[in-house]
Amino acid sequence: MYAVECKQLTKEYPPGWKPWRKAAIRKRALDGLDLQIQPGEIFGFLGQNGAGKTTTLKLLLGLIHPTSGEARLLGTPVHARSGVEMRRRVGYLPENPYFYEYLTGRELLRYFGRLSGLRGQTLEQRVEARLEQLGLSEAGNIALRKYSKGMLQRVGLAQAILHDPELVILDEPMSGLDPGGRREVREIILELKRQERTVFFSTHILSDAEQLCDRVAVLEKGKLRGVGPLSDWQGSESGSREIIWRQADGCSEAALQKMNLGAAQALPEAGKYRITVTSSQLWPALDAIRAASGEILKVEPARPSLEAIFFAEPRPNHEAAPVQRETTA
Amino acid sequence: MNERTLGAGKIMAAIAGNSFREAIRDRWLLSLAGFAVLMAGAALLFTQMSFGIAAGALINFSLAAITFLGALMAVLLGNQLVAKEIERRTAYALLAHPVRRRELVLGKFAGLLLALTVNTGLMGLALLAALSWLQGGWHSGEGAVLAALYCVWLELALLTAVSLFFSSFASIGLAAVFSLSLFLIGNFNGELRGLGAAARPGPGRWLPRLVADALPNFGGLNLTTTASHYLPVSARLLGWNSLYVLLYGAAMLILSAVIFEFRDLK
């Protein structure tokens, strides 16, 4: 049984009420998504705005209805009658959560806890534990209308994990958080993994995905561009090497040009530089650095960041792609 | 029973409780304080009139004010019941829990109805207190005032169901316009029928009647004139009014739930 399973999941939106348009063009927000997530995985869902990430999450939670295809959570079809009961085992944080502003944080958690079937002492204990975990104990009695965006994000996360769900679906969980808040959320996600929960989250903050995810999927214009472990994504640029060296007395741009290392990048730490070269350029580059009294610190295979993969132009030859293509245009 | 097993009733009770809290915290019940002041002022003013006229004028004035304030609350809050949940995206987190959409619709309705009941009940008590003060005690004809108050509550319950129906598919603004229009037209239901009866045979006769039958008959629920003249109200009339509101209101709620069930939350 997969924690999340999509089979040819497609969602089209009607063009709106435009009777003067004879041929109505339907917008395809998601196009034949095939995806499987194993229990216990931390799975990242990446894509630019409008790629179809939120549409997918809404389909998985039954908030919108698919045009075709099927989605299952924890083995249960989402849009079947039993899908409602299955949601007891699922937690969800919407993107930019907006909650009832007349409630306090504590009241909101109690309300959602009741809807999930928690009651009495268990409910109270869970509410207090989650408020404590998310650093909201003191703000628990303040009305949500007075919460900052980061605090709303935290209380949203608290309600998503309040009932101890097996599967946690988070839509942009780091959005609106300061660095400290992001670190706390990362720790919570890792704690959920330690408890063998499945976490499926969408994000456009790629460093978070790099730090957290066992596997990621990239969605582009409603189509799955690829899915796989991060190591598969990042190990694609075979042959390229990254050199990091120190130049004790610094290095001017002119000097780098002279060394034929014009593309080198100065690192934040004073006197350190980095350059990525092909294997044929490796030895001449090392010789040039040594000749300029540079100290070689590191030479390693270049691994493109997710940014590089994410913003790369689609490759015409799919077989040369870093991971197996699950759908093609 | 498993700790996590909640019946639909408990889910709806939780949603109704939250909906009631929303109505209270939106300071709608502050209208009560305003109404109490209004009653005291009106009672003082009406003491200048002779006894029979004063009581009738106070009843007329108060029932109109209770209906107006209640209708305002039913329309403005009723239209937001579902539409606001969608527009502000609070429904996303709510429906990601084990909540059926029909439970959300019925729970929200029950919560607002409870708030309206409290509102109408307290305003009714203020009216009875003012009447008692004006008359120097209780009067045997106050049964008609109680019956009229009950019918105001029926009117507001029906208006809430109608507002909820529009809220299930229209935006907050449009739903408010639709329900307020229907409330106004529904108050002239009798006149619409009269128009048809006076017309020549043909569409001019059956069309107004058809429209009057289809639209909610708010005018038929208004017993203000009867109450202000302390005329007796038959139990049969109250029974028919109750049945009418029950059936029409249930139809509105079922339609709302069906429409909302198939709606995408964009």
Asked if A105 and A163 sit in the same domain, the reply is yes
A169-183 pLDDT, tens digit each: 999 998 878 888 888
Which residues 201-260 of B have a C-beta within 8 angstroms of A?
none
Same domain, A289 and A157: no
Average pLDDT over residues A283-293: 85
Dist CA B84 CA A323 (whole Å): 43
DSSP state of A143: B
DSSP state of A315: P
Write out chain A residues lying below 8 Å of B22, CB-based: 100, 102
Q: How far apart are CA A132 and CA A126, in angstroms?
A: 10
User: What's the domain count of chain A?
Assistant: 2
Q: A166 and A70: one domain?
A: yes
Q: Touching check for A61 and chain B: CB below 8 Å?
A: yes
Give the tens place of pLDDT for each residue, A9-58.
Answer: 999 987 766 555 555 567 889 999 999 999 999 999 998 888 899 999 99
- Answer yes or no: do A88 and A188 share one domain: yes
Residue B45: is its pLDDT beyond 80? no
How close A42 gets to chain B, by Cα (Å)?
20
Whether A54 maps to a domain, the answer reads yes
Asked if B200 is an interface residue toward chain A (Cβ–Cβ < 8 A), one would say: no
Q: Examine the pLDDT at B213 and tell me if it is beyond 70.
A: yes
- Domain-embedded: residue A68: yes
Query: What pLDDT score was predicted for residue A201?
Result: 94
* Contact yes or no for B96 and A94 at CB 8 A: yes
- Helix ranges (DSSP H) in chain A: 53-60, 83-86, 105-115, 120-133, 149-161, 179-194, 206-212, 230-234, 253-258, 279-291, 306-310
Q: Which of chain A's residues have a Cβ under 8 Å away from the Cβ of B18? A: 100, 103, 111
Tens of pLDDT along A116-159?
Answer: 988 899 999 999 999 998 889 989 999 999 998 888 999 999 99
**Is the predicted pLDDT of residue A317 greater than 50, yes or no?**
no
Token readout for A114 is: 């009741």
**Residues 6 or more apart in contact with residue B242 via CB below 8 angstroms:** B154
CA–CA distance from B236 to each of A263, B157, B158, B231, B264 (Å)? 93, 20, 19, 15, 44
Residue A122 burial (CB count, 10 A)? 14
Give the residue from A234, A256, A276 where a domain finishes.
A234
Distance to chain B for A54, nearest Cα, Å: 10
- Strands A167-171 and A241-246 turn out to be unpaired
Dist. CA A139–CA B230, nearest whole Å: 55
User: What range does the domain containing A217 cover?
Assistant: 4-234
Is A329 among the domain residues? no
Task: Answer whether residue A220 is part of any domain.
Answer: yes
Number of other CB atoms surrounding residue A17 within 10 Å: 7
Establish if A92 touches chain B: CB-CB under 8 angstroms: yes
Q: Where do the structural domains in chain B lie, given as residue ranges?
A: 8-261
Q: Do A111 and B264 touch (CB under 8 A)?
A: no
Q: Is residue A314 part of a domain?
A: no
**Neighboring chain B residues of A169 at a CB cutoff of 8 Å:** 96
Shared-domain flag, residues A254 and A282: yes
Alpha-carbon gap: B19 to the closest alpha carbon of chain A (Å): 10
Residues of B in Cβ contact (< 8 Å) with A118 = 3-4
% pLDDT > 90, chain B: 39
Q: Min CA distance, A122 vs chain B (Å)?
A: 9
Identify the residue among A115, A169, A170, A202 best suited for mutation to test binding to B, counting B beta carbons within 10 A and taking the highest. Answer: A115
Decide which of A234, A251, A274 is a domain's last residue.
A234
Interface contact A65-B262, CB threshold 8 A: yes
Q: Dihedral through CA B169, CA A81, CA A34, CA A4, nearest 10?
A: 110
Structure tokens belonging to residue A276: 């990525």
Alpha-carbon gap: A279 to the closest alpha carbon of chain B (Å)? 50
Tell whether A66 and A188 lie within a shared domain. yes
Query: Residues in chain A, how many?
Result: 329
Segment B67-103, tens digit of pLDDT: 988 898 899 888 888 888 888 888 999 999 999 999 9
The most distant pair of C-alpha atoms in chain A lies apart, rounded to whole Å, by: 74
Residue A316: inside a domain? no
A53 shares a domain with A28: yes
Quote the ipTM score. 0.82
The domain spanning residue A143 has which CATH number?
A: 3.40.50.300
A245: CATH: 3.30.70
Nearest-CA neighbor of A159 among A109, A209, A119, A111? A109
Residue in chain A nearest B96 by alpha carbon = A61
A109 and A230 together in one domain? yes
Task: Tell me whether B100 touches chain A (CB under 8 Å).
Answer: yes
